[in-house]
Amino acid sequence: MTDKTVSKFLSYVLRHKPEEIDLTLDAGGWAMIDDLLARATVPLDRTALERIVANSDKQRFAISPDGLRIRANQGHSFDVDLGLAPLPPPDLLYHGTATRNLDAIRAEGLNKRARQHVHLSPDPETARSVGMRYGPPVVLKIAAGRMHGAGHVFFRSQNGVWLTEHVPPAFLGTHAGDGPPRA
């Protein structure tokens, strides 16, 4: 079994459905590593788990400093207190999506949907790679500094992904299309 397959399993149980393997997460989204290894439905041992966490290109997971627990860094479809403090974001952030979603996003903005937050990237390249997973990509430019000035709250997860509740249409532009987000 490939590390990518195991990483998808970890994402599924740590971000969406821990109950599928009778795994208990605490309020911060942490699971005991020994429990995860005992209940895993894919071949997984401690060495493989540590390798996958360390080598994940998107750094989706974190192991606690004491080495006993693991959690997803963001992307949960249930409430988790990641213990993140609000931070002022950079002036611009980016969001990658499929071109087929553009009309709805321009009308409604970016919604978190089934997730806990909207995910934003610090650079257009990362956003483009995210968008490519869903079809022909478009990179949206987010006027994050203006949003923050208007009272929107931002967090940065352990792996550098920026999180917020919603991005209203007034703060959106496309990276390589219509120039900067509207003022």
Contacts for 97-100 with beta carbons within 8 Å, 24 or more apart? 97/130, 97/131, 97/134, 97/137, 97/138, 97/140, 98/131, 98/134, 98/135, 98/136, 98/137, 98/138, 99/135, 99/136, 99/137, 99/138, 100/135, 100/136
Digitized pLDDT (tens) for each residue of the chain, 183 residues in all:
899 999 999 999 999 999 999 999 999 999 999 999 999 999 999 999 999 999 887 788 999 999 999 999 888 888 889 899 999 999 999 999 999 999 999 999 999 987 889 999 999 999 999 899 888 999 999 999 999 999 999 999 988 999 999 999 999 987 654 444 443
pLDDT at position 77, please?
87
Spans of all domains in the chain:
3-72, 93-174
CATH number of 3-72: 1.10.10.970
pLDDT at position 180, please?
41
What does pTM read for this prediction?
Answer: 0.77
69 and 105 in contact (C-beta within 8 Å)?
Answer: no
CATH number of 93-174: 3.20.170.30
pLDDT at position 177, please?
44
pLDDT at position 175, please?
62
Are 3-72 and 93-174 equal in CATH topology?
no
pLDDT at position 88, please?
98
Handedness of CA 129, 133, 138, 144 (dihedral sign): negative
